[in-house]
Homo-oligomer: A and B are copies of this chain.
């Protein structure tokens, strides 16, 4: 009997969409105002989903307090109130699009969460633009 559990966290960050292999003109054409050289930013809402067996002794699939702490230690400590392009190792040479941020977070958490749990990461960049990565 497998149940999916979800924990929602948030972080605020600055970023810029920019491909250094391209000219400024091409960056402007592709990324528009998201390419502002001085950055812009977002309130990112992050939902981490784990699917696994319910432990009959606790009624838990995964302790939400433990999951929240794990997200804070592994993800929020790196990205919250940061400039994703300048302040993080992960996006030094990777464009910090919502898609890439979700994949990076998924990989960080996948290392820390037992493989018995299926892992899905959903990331809201705005209320109207969001992404989801399940490792496939």
Contact = CB atoms under 8 A, between A and B. Distances in A.
Nearest to A32: B65
A19 B97 contact: no
Chain A contact residues: helix, strand, loop or mixed: mixed
Contacts of A61: 99, 131
Q: How many monomers of this protein are in the complex?
A: 6
Given A17-B59, A65-B32, A87-B36, A99 B41 contact: no
Interface residues of A, number: 63
A19 B100 contact: no
A99 B103 CA distance: 27
Contacts of A31: 58
Interface of A: 1-10, 12-15, 17, 19, 21-22, 30-34, 36, 38-43, 54, 57-61, 63-65, 80-83, 86-87, 94-100, 102-103, 126-133, 136
5 contacts: A14-B38, A21-B57, A40-B41, A41-B41, A60-B97
